[in-house]
Structure 1
Amino acid sequence: MLAEQQAPVDPRDGGGRAWVERVEPIGAELGSGASAWERREGRAEKPTVQVATRQRFTFLFEVGPLGIAEGGTIYPTAEPFWEWSAVQHFEPGSPGYTTAEIISGEARVVPDALGAGFVVEGSALAAGDRIRFVYGAGEEGAFVDRYAERDATFFFSVDGDGDGYRRFIEGGPRFDIASRDARLLVAHGPAEHRPSETLSIRLAFVDHQGNRTDRLEDGLIPANARFEIGTLPGSTLDFGPPRVFAASSWQDGSTDLALGPVEGSGVLRLGVRGLGPLETFTAKLPPIVVREGARSLVWADLHGHTALSDGTGRPDDYFRYAREVARLDVVSLTDHDHWGIRPLALDSDAIRTVFDTTDGAEEAGRFVTIPGYEWTSWLHGHRHVLYFDAPGAEPRPEIFSAFDVTTDRPDELWDALRDRNALTFAHHSAGDPVAINWRFRPDRDLEPVTEVASVHGQSESMEMPVPVQGGIPGWFVIDTLRAGFRYGFIGSGDSHDGHPGLPQIAGGHGGLAGLFVDGLDRAAVKAALRRRQTFATNGIRPFLEVSIDGVPMGGTLPAGKDEHRLRIRYEATEEIERVELVRSGRVATLEPENPLSVDLERSIPALQPGEFHYVRIRQDDGGNAWSSPIFVGKSR
């Protein structure tokens, strides 16, 4: 990658432009009502194709003003992520088969030996010469991304002088990828709610891959759709008999419902059932704790990607999904600094788009967006960097790249961030795609918590279910705690599907951070992370509070007591399998008395200086939650 950055650039490299001429469905898609799209004079709209279908794309490529030398190469390239068929010209009967023909000019273009490009032969290509490329030219067509997005790009790059170095053309053919029909109703409310205030919940429809959708099999979701909402078992607050609510407006398959004030304190558990044409759709809300309190639990996903690196979709749609579908309180977009078709760190316009879009998506007191990026070192592991200055504040967020020789080690990154209002977060730390180099001890000021669960699995303990692939014995977070490291726990999605807060719908695994905050703004979020008053989950949304002698999770106990009082409160999303007390790596198991709730206070033996204690809770459905450790005495 570094060699590519330093490669010589010929003025003809990256020259040219391309556009979509035709798109037609292939195979079974022909019977689905889909029809071909053709460019017409004056037609401005982009073509739209459906997720996870087979299509045949025809592109026109026009040579740039400096031409392309004989021996130069043009490379058509589909997005390399999320099940697009790779461009190939060896197997006509396989997906992604691609052809090219000159439609103006005297030269020829022939397939290269590697199967990815087309070489200019016979003579040079002159400015304005055109070539027709057909991607999916064989009977199998080409498979389309399984995740919906706007402005999906098909890329062309040009080696203009034949020296083996190429550059991507500016822009490229674009089209929209549409979701399928609704298969799932998701419902979320706040994690906490104040008594007597009006409770609102968010409903959203998604397809089989979690893509938001406003379509049913036989048409659009009715504008006046009705839902029955009632109390579920385990609720300590009575919502009364089931009531019917009608949606007043929809935003691409999502809506808010105001349910009215909730009286009293306790736990509210609600179920939702669609009526009429929606009668097959049901959902359970995560538990809502109703109480007065100085600090409230909010849900955060602090790690995810878009098409600006190796993910899907646009930054603005990423934040809309977080707010309108997943109903997150806090979210960050952390595209890779240098991993994807066009490295973010080298694209000042893209950097500006990311950080400006992040600021613009924030809603004061309701929805916190945190600017960030992922420091992507293939030697020392991946960390995301988050900035907590108020929207629009100076200095603006900056990308300190893992491919810059001045910040290509963790200690150099922390030095660069020392005077910035920022934090860093290690993730998938025990294994694939690359483990963290723990020889660089996490910075006490800049890395107070670590991500233990995401789409990659969990990195807390090799003994827990779904460990990260390629997990290295002795390299899990519990091993680093034994070695004297001190940090709190969070989960986050590391989503690449454009679905922050809900990547587990498509991927099976996810991650979320529960944060106890004094308010809903960037400063309050950072304060919660700094004091480690956080917990991690693998995508579920329970309520979890743990304290020892009144010291909340993430805190530090003084040494010298003969015994301690441990307090655990947990409100589950499904029945509890077991409660595990983790003391300095040793595990004690408790059987729950109540299948949905833990409200426990008990004595535990004295903890010695340097020890740590945290709680793991495992549910029957595979949901897991981890409290941040409570530490004893000064750190080593």
Structure 2
Amino acid sequence: MRFLLGLAMVAGLSAQSFYESEAPYLSEEAAMMRASQLDLGRAEFLGADSGVVGGYGEFTLRFTVGRAGLASGGALRIATQHDFGWDMWGGTRLQMKDPAAPNFLVIRTSNNAKIAWKPYPQGGADSLFRDYHPWQTINEFRVEDKRLNPGDWIEIVYGARSGGSPGVEIQPMDETAFMQKVYVDADGKGEFLPLPDSPTLRILPGEAKRLHVIAQTDAVVGEPLWISVWAEDSLSNPASGYGGVVDLAVEPGSWREVWRAEAGDAGARRFEGIRLEQPGVYRFRARSRDGLEAVSNPVRVHETAPAARIYWGDLHTHTRYSDGRGTPREMLEFGRKYASIDFCAVTDHAFTTTDWMWEEIQRTANEMNEPGRYVTFLGYEWSGVTDVGGDHNVFTVEDSMPLIRSYTGYSYRNLRMYHGPNKQAGHVEDLFRMLAENFRDENLLVIPHFGGRRGNPEWHNPKLQRGIEIFSDHRRSEDWATTFLERGHRVGVMASTDNHSGNAGYGVRRTAREVGEDQPLFSRFSPEEGGTALIAVYGESLDRQGVFQGVYHRRTYATTGERIVLEFSVNGEPMGGEIEAGPDASIRLSAIGTTAIKTVRIVKNGKILHALDPGGDTAALEFVDRTGAAPGDYYYLDLVQADGEKAISSPVWVN
């Protein structure tokens, strides 16, 4: 463990003097070193150590008191990034009033000490969010009467079933290590130190309820292409135990295949080397022999290789290294194996990312980068509050870059916040200036997004800010993104999930239990919306340089998750480009939907210039704007499918 590295530094200090004399506000690693030196105790789960998503369970966490003891007035705080219900974004459902109801909590001790329980939800006056982020939900267990001595224990039973409770609600997303992070205040003076090792549960997926078929968007006659099939449970997790038989076919065409799912498949299989001998638009269909069915996105088969092909990606994800779940490797592997995206980046919040975490993120991205198959980029999120610029993701095409952190609104008491000597950027203009020292040959990108601290159009760097995230799990943010275009900022349009659940390229498609009713939940703010978010890039090659140049030169469009095919040009200049002013503008568009297209709109300067309602799943139009293309004008394409899914192109600007 990393905490062992610092034990020599404190070897000459007694536990008591070290505990009382050192400054209480340290890094998390330093605090764990101190907890180890003091021997505050250990925590573990007894009995069951796994559960199934969306179900119920009974889990007993035992804290055994260490050499430091646990005084009257001392306490434990147990924190989670997601609690057992779908309360990742606030609150807790544990209760001690009704032993027959869900989420019943029982507390017992080896010496009959009285323990007071106090929950700290994420919001409200009692919240400890600023002090403990990213450990979102806090439950405190405080000793009210007699001291617990070394070897004594406290047991916390989540979902105690002895009184008829079905158990504690289990979160809807699978997770290899759902951690109960244990902090200890041994003497009751208010200094809570995290244990070096906190117990974890494994959250398992459910049975398969849905199939997905994902196919390569652009292919060439006679050249090999790929498709991917995967099974998910009712809560959008990979059904890793799936063992069905799936018949696969292409429409139109004669290609056929059978997938007999095996344990080693973990619920997904990729088929490569498929060749189609005629140009056209194809779709692949999957039918399982247990009644599941799916149709792929459209595949364009070209007569000859196009200069650029559409590649799909997710450039905004969070792992447990900030306020998400899973490791960077698990996040990137989901994007590769299940979401079947072509490129991806982990973008953990820089202010919660330690130096060793950043080293591991970079190492993992470089190890998993496979040109021609799956491209991984280095990135992070600079998370300044809106008044100093707001959230921006930073990317590079290189295999390393410095991590520039932001000052934040979180408490200086927070152990996970960066408190080290490295220079930070207090304002987005500081970020631009510091990044400019590393800018060469179009090797950096800075992308603002809506997020928790929405990006501010007040400040703009045209060399670095080459795009804007218009869709994410947060919401569909055309209203916010338009403010950048209205100010004349020439930013390409893109989308990414901002996923905190370990599912790169798939977003948040969950079911929330609210007052006993199931409701489809898309995002934290817009439960009426559906979908996720993906960026489409026209790239000359599937490698870091090819994809990055496509993004940098704004050859991008955004979708709410469906792999809709878009082409858009003005006077022959494709999306993201610039044209000269003139008396008119010739606009050409084409689209292939994943279902029927409801409307296609040509937008000029934020207003609808022309609309087409094609009725089917394809659209094509040539239109001349005779009102004149004046300097500063911009055009883009906005498409809405009958199922509500959307796609928006990057603009073409007039010089």
Mapped partners of 1:519, 1:259: distance in 2: 19
Secondary structure of the residue aligned to 2:286 is: strand
Mapped partners of 2:39, 2:221: distance in 1: 61
Offset of 1:69 from its aligned partner? 3.9
| CA deviation profile, 1:66-118 (whole Å, cap 9, x unmatched) | 33444221113344356268375653545444333332xx6835215667322
Matches within 5 A, 1:30-45: none
Mapped partners of 2:298, 2:484: distance in 1: 33
Mapped partners of 1:578, 1:88: distance in 2: 47
Offset of 1:293 from its aligned partner? 1.2
Mapped partners of 1:568, 1:14: distance in 2: 67
Matches within 5 A, 1:396-415: 396-403=401-408, 406-415=424-433
Is residue 428–residue 458 contact of structure 1 (8 Å, CA) maintained in 2? Answer: no
Secondary structure of the residue aligned to 2:357 is: helix
Q: 1:155 to 1:193 in 2, by over 3 A?
A: same
Mapped partners of 1:401, 1:326: distance in 2: 31
Matches within 5 A, 1:581-592: 581-592=602-613
| Matched residue, 2:366 | 359
Equivalent AA in structure 1 for residue 301 of structure 2? V
Offset of 1:123 from its aligned partner? 5.3
Is residue 227–residue 271 contact of structure 2 (8 Å, CA) maintained in 1? Answer: yes
Secondary structure of the residue aligned to 1:290 is: strand
| CA deviation profile, 1:220-267 (whole Å, cap 9, x unmatched) | 414xx3414131xxxxxx424x73434586520101224631123332
Mapped partners of 2:356, 2:69: distance in 1: 27
Is residue 107–residue 121 contact of structure 1 (8 Å, CA) maintained in 2? Answer: no
Root-mean-square deviation (CA, aligned residues, Å) is 2.8
Secondary structure of the residue aligned to 1:161 is: coil
Is residue 228–residue 269 contact of structure 2 (8 Å, CA) maintained in 1? Answer: yes
Equivalent AA in structure 2 for residue 22 of structure 1? G
| Matched residue, 1:466 | none
Mapped partners of 1:243, 1:525: distance in 2: 32
| Matched residue, 1:314 | 327
Secondary structure of the residue aligned to 1:208 is: coil
Secondary structure of the residue aligned to 2:365 is: helix
Offset of 1:591 from its aligned partner? 2.4
Offset of 1:14 from its aligned partner? 9.0
| CA deviation profile, 1:489-508 (whole Å, cap 9, x unmatched) | 00111122222222254333
Offset of 1:299 from its aligned partner? 0.2
| CA deviation profile, 1:136-169 (whole Å, cap 9, x unmatched) | 2362532111101101111211123323232321
Q: 1:379 to 1:479 in 2, by over 3 A?
A: closer
Q: 1:6 to 1:155 in 2, by over 3 A?
A: closer
Equivalent AA in structure 2 for residue 435 of structure 1? R
Q: 1:185 to 1:77 in 2, by over 3 A?
A: same
| Matched residue, 1:288 | 299
Matches within 5 A, 1:47-86: 47-80=49-82, 83=86, 86=92
Matches within 5 A, 1:181-330: 181-215=207-241, 220-222=242-244, 225-231=245-251, 238-240=252-254, 243-247=256-260, 251-258=265-272, 260-274=274-288, 277-278=289-290, 280-291=291-302, 292-330=305-343
Offset of 1:52 from its aligned partner? 1.3
Alignment of 1:578 onto 2:603: no
477, 499, 505: which is aligned to 1:501?
505
Query: Structure 1: 5+ residue runs without aligned partners?
Result: 24-46, 232-237, 339-343, 462-475
Is residue 14–residue 158 contact of structure 1 (8 Å, CA) maintained in 2? Answer: no
Equivalent AA in structure 1 for residue 497 of structure 2? G
Is residue 226–residue 245 contact of structure 1 (8 Å, CA) maintained in 2? Answer: yes
541, 547, 571: which is aligned to 2:563?
541
113, 131, 138: which is aligned to 2:154?
131
Q: 1:112 to 1:206 in 2, by over 3 A?
A: closer
Equivalent AA in structure 2 for residue 230 of structure 1? V
Alignment of 1:161 onto 2:216: no
Is residue 513–residue 536 contact of structure 1 (8 Å, CA) maintained in 2? Answer: yes
Equivalent AA in structure 2 for residue 227 of structure 1? D
Mapped partners of 1:517, 1:243: distance in 2: 30
Matches within 5 A, 1:440-589: 441-461=459-479, 476-503=480-507, 505-506=509-510, 507=522, 508-559=530-581, 561-589=582-610
Mapped partners of 1:114, 1:577: distance in 2: 48
Matches within 5 A, 1:321-400: 321-338=334-351, 344-345=352-353, 347-380=354-387, 381-390=390-399, 395-400=400-405
Mapped partners of 1:126, 1:362: distance in 2: 52
Is residue 77–residue 87 contact of structure 1 (8 Å, CA) maintained in 2? Answer: no
43, 53, 56: which is aligned to 1:18?
43
Mapped partners of 2:317, 2:603: distance in 1: 29
Is residue 287–residue 571 contact of structure 1 (8 Å, CA) maintained in 2? Answer: yes
Equivalent AA in structure 2 for residue 367 of structure 1? Y
Is residue 404–residue 425 contact of structure 2 (8 Å, CA) maintained in 1? Answer: no
Is residue 14–residue 167 contact of structure 1 (8 Å, CA) maintained in 2? Answer: no
70, 79, 91: which is aligned to 2:97?
91
| Matched residue, 1:39 | none
Mapped partners of 1:248, 1:18: distance in 2: 39
Equivalent AA in structure 2 for residue 583 of structure 1? K
Mapped partners of 1:79, 1:485: distance in 2: 37
Mapped partners of 1:299, 1:128: distance in 2: 55
| Matched residue, 2:515 | none
Of 326-335 and 79-88, more deviation after overlay is shown by 79-88
TM-score of the two chains, using structure 2 as the length reference: 0.79
Q: How many residues end up aligned between the 2 structures? A: 561
Secondary structure of the residue aligned to 1:535 is: strand
Q: 1:67 to 1:384 in 2, by over 3 A?
A: farther
Equivalent AA in structure 1 for residue 54 of structure 2? A
Is residue 219–residue 299 contact of structure 2 (8 Å, CA) maintained in 1? Answer: yes
Mapped partners of 1:14, 1:600: distance in 2: 72
- Identity among equivalent positions (%) equals 26
Secondary structure of the residue aligned to 2:478 is: coil
Is residue 181–residue 207 contact of structure 1 (8 Å, CA) maintained in 2? Answer: yes
Mapped partners of 1:337, 1:140: distance in 2: 40
594, 601, 609: which is aligned to 2:631?
609
Q: 1:203 to 1:88 in 2, by over 3 A?
A: closer
